[in-house]
């Protein structure tokens, strides 16, 4: 391949044809400021509308400044990224954006994490020389996401995530000129749309235009109410990311410190969603084996592949977009909801607390979990199984509010009985983890033999769609894995057209699985962070004494004392659910 030679800031650089000036500069350690641009290399996700013009550079011999994110490097180019003209243009553009941006930085939910704020700081903007009309838009609050479009800078990252990555298609730029805004069709509110609340728009929004609904105030109120017993569960992906909020390196496991922090926040019992993940495997795994064995016996009515159902955004996605296939996913509730259902029955009885006096809080890497916990079917007489679901980010702000020096906290263990978990429960946090956990248990139940090696490397990885086979004592199990709803759509369309020959498929909505969830610390376009969390999750699994869900002693006890056996009537009532057709049908 003919390489391209050019000069950037007097440094020679050689790049492949097609490389942008931005990437060429980056390869020799020059960081041209950007705002609308975002690139997650490993995920193949890129937003480059070339709209904001913050990345303009001076190219010798060209009349106009060139936007570095969309201009390709050419042979012999002589580029100056910090000429006076480039700096002036960059500052002018930023000032113009700021002139139509509310000056609420001090009280904005995104303060300290805002890329526009950082940019203004980097460019040393101390005054805005432009004054003009400000755009105003109504605030839109849904069960999980708040849209404050006054703060939108039209970078269109959210639109790219919603359409190209997730193929949910709820957000689009609408209207024109000064009235342009990113909105759902007919500018309806999100809760009327097919939004899955995956939160990937929130994860990439550079400003405070898209944020999660804040439930920290409600949690503090519950904790300070002496008549309430408040318990907490923490999802597996949280422990692999929470440390980032306290300047620890990405991928630092903070399980013990997190537990200590929760106890100091005043939770009466600190439990683990991983326990409920083990429970999910018991139910989902049993359901899978039941379907598989009926299929192997020639039952033509049985639905295969089975699809996992732990992810609330994925559930809402198929309810809107593939309602004809709503009988294929497992009926097992998600670990969050299984935990809530068990906590408010089995555990409430054990500690002799009335359901209405028990408050269940979840710490989730996810914003869709807020919506899931509010779904009507997950409540008894109006009392929800899970009262509040807060994100990893919200937990970090609670820890800061409680004046805890997180990094100096001791390592503590979870409480029992709902805090005991296995390595299988931990890996629920990463793409491929749920199905690997299911295979570990399904193998042993199906064959009656003990697994020699519990690691199924073929199921791991960060590729968007993966296929693998697992040998279950001669039976070849065909498994599909997708993360990102656009990838899920591909597998679903294959099932619909009869092309799919999988026995089981795992789907997670967010890139990387829950570790890349919409409620995690902001990655700011650096996807190496997600990779490090991924590695941390498998490290935690490897370090666990028990690594198969059915060997969790407290799970065994829960079935003995309370549920009977997997898929029993009681288990069905408490741990399974059904799905709804949420599509629009046009009729005359």
Catalytic residues: 284, 287, 310, 330, 369, 372, 377, 514
Residue 496 interacts with other proteins (CB under 8 A)?
A: no
Piece of the chain touching other proteins by CB under 8 A; list 6-14, 109-117, 172-180, 209-217? 172-180
Piece of the chain touching other proteins by CB under 8 A; list 126-134, 169-177, 240-248, 434-442? 169-177
Nearest to residue 409, comparing CAs of 231, 258, 223, 251? 258
Residue 377 interacts with other proteins (CB under 8 A)?
A: no
Residue 51 beta carbon to other proteins: minimum distance, rounded to whole angstroms: 15
List Cα–Cα distances, 515 to 37, 332, 333, 359, 409, in angstroms: 23, 21, 20, 26, 23
Residue 167 beta carbon to other proteins: minimum distance, rounded to whole angstroms: 9
Residue 194 beta carbon to other proteins: minimum distance, rounded to whole angstroms: 9
Residue 331 beta carbon to other proteins: minimum distance, rounded to whole angstroms: 19
Residue 488 interacts with other proteins (CB under 8 A)?
A: no
Contact 244, 394 (CB under 8 A): no
Q: Cα–Cα distance between 22 and 432 in angstroms, integer?
A: 34
Residue 452 interacts with other proteins (CB under 8 A)?
A: no
Residue 185 interacts with other proteins (CB under 8 A)?
A: yes
For residue 440, give every residue at least 6 positions away whose Cβ sits within 8 Å of its Cβ, in sequence order, or none.
281, 424, 451, 454, 456, 547, 548, 549
Tokens at residue 1, please? 């391949």
Q: Which of residues 49-108 bind other proteins (CB under 8 A)?
A: none
Contact 89, 32 (CB under 8 A): no
Residue 497 interacts with other proteins (CB under 8 A)?
A: no
Residue 315 beta carbon to other proteins: minimum distance, rounded to whole angstroms: 16
Which CB sits closer to other proteins, 9 or 164?
164
Tokens at residue 222, please? 């519950």
Contact 384, 211 (CB under 8 A): no
Residue 587 interacts with other proteins (CB under 8 A)?
A: yes
Which CB sits closer to other proteins, 50 or 169?
169
Residue 351 interacts with other proteins (CB under 8 A)?
A: no
Which of 52, 170, 399, 563 is in the footprint of other proteins by CB under 8 A?
A: 170
Piece of the chain touching other proteins by CB under 8 A; list 170-178, 212-220, 289-297, 418-426? 170-178
Asked whether the CA dihedral 514, 36, 161, 398 is positive or negative, the reply is positive
Q: Which of residues 557-586 bind other proteins (CB under 8 A)?
A: 580-586
Nearest to residue 373, comparing CAs of 355, 360, 389? 389
What DSSP element (H or E) covers 588? none
Residue 171 interacts with other proteins (CB under 8 A)?
A: yes
Three-class secondary structure of residue 231 per DSSP: strand
Q: Cα–Cα distance between 564 and 556 in angstroms, integer?
A: 10
Residue 324 interacts with other proteins (CB under 8 A)?
A: no
Residue 561 DSSP one-character state? I
Residues that bind other proteins in the complex, under the rule CB under 8 A: 163, 169-176, 183-186, 193, 323, 580-588
């Amino acid at each position: 391949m003919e390489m391209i030679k050019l000069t950037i800031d007097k440094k020679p650089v050689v790049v492949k044809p097609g490389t942008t000036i931005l990437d060429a500069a980056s390869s020799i350690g020059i960081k041209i400021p950007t705002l609308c641009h975002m690139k997650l290399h490993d995920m193949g996700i890129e937003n480059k509308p070339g709209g904001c013009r913050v990345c303009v550079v001076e190219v010798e011999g060209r009349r106009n400044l060139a936007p570095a994110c969309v201009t390709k490097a050419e042979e012999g180019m002589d580029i100056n990224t910090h000429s006076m003209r480039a700096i002036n243009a960059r500052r002018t553009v930023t000032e113009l954006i700021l002139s139509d941006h509310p000056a609420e930085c001090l009280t904005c939910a995104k303060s300290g994490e805002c890329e526009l704020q950082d940019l203004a700081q980097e460019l040393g903007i101390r005054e805005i020389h432009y004054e003009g009309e400000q755009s105003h838009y109504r605030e839109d609050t849904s069960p999980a996401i708040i849209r404050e479009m006054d703060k939108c800078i039209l970078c269109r990252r959210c639109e790219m995530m919603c359409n190209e990555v997730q193929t949910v298609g709820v957000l689009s730029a609408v209207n024109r000129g000064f009235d342009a805004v990113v909105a759902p069709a007919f500018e309806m509110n999100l809760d009327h749309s097919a939004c899955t609340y995956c939160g990937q728009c929130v994860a990439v929004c550079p400003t405070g235009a898209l944020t999660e609904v804040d439930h920290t105030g409600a949690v503090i109120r519950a904790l300070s109410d002496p008549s309430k017993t408040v318990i907490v569960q923490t999802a597996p992906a949280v422990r692999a990311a929470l440390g980032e909020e306290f300047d620890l390196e990405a991928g630092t496991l903070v399980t013990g410190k997190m537990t200590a922090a929760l106890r100091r926040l005043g939770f009466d019992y600190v439990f683990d969603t991983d326990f409920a993940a083990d429970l999910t495997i018991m139910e989902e795994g049993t359901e899978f084996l039941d379907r598989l064995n009926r299929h192997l016996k020639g039952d033509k009515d049985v639905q295969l592949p089975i699809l996992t159902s732990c992810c609330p955004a994925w559930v809402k996605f198929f309810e809107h977009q593939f309602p004809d296939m709503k009988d294929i996913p497992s009926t097992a509730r998600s670990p969050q909801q299984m935990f809530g259902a068990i906590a408010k029955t089995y555990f409430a009885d054990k500690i002799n607390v009335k359901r209405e006096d028990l408050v269940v809080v979840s710490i989730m890497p996810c914003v869709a979990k807020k919506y899931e916990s509010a779904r009507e079917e997950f409540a008894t007489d109006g009392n929800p199984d899970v009262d509040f679901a807060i994100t990893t980010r919200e937990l970090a702000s609670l820890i800061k509010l409680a004046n805890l020096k997180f990094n100096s906290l001791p390592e503590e263990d979870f409480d029992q009985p709902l805090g005991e978990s296995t390595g299988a429960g931990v890996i629920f946090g990463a793409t491929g983890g749920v199905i690997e956990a299911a295979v570990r248990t399904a193998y042993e139940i199906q064959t009656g033999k003990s697994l020699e090696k519990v690691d199924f490397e073929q199921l791991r990885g960060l590729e968007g769609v993966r296929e693998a086979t697992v040998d279950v004592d001669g039976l070849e199990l065909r498994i599909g894995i997708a993360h990102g709803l656009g990838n899920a759509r591909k597998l679903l369309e294959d099932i619909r057209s009869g092309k799919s020959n999988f026995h089981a498929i795992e789907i997670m909505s967010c890139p990387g699985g829950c570790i890349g969830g919409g409620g995690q610390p902001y990655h700011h376009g650096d996807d190496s962070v997600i990779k490090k969390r991924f590695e941390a999750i498998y490290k935690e699994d490897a370090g666990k004494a028990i690594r198969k869900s059915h060997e969790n002693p407290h799970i065994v006890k829960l079935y003995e004392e309370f549920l009977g056996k997997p898929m029993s009537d009681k288990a069905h009532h408490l741990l399974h659910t059904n799905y709804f057709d949420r599509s629009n049908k046009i009729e005359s």
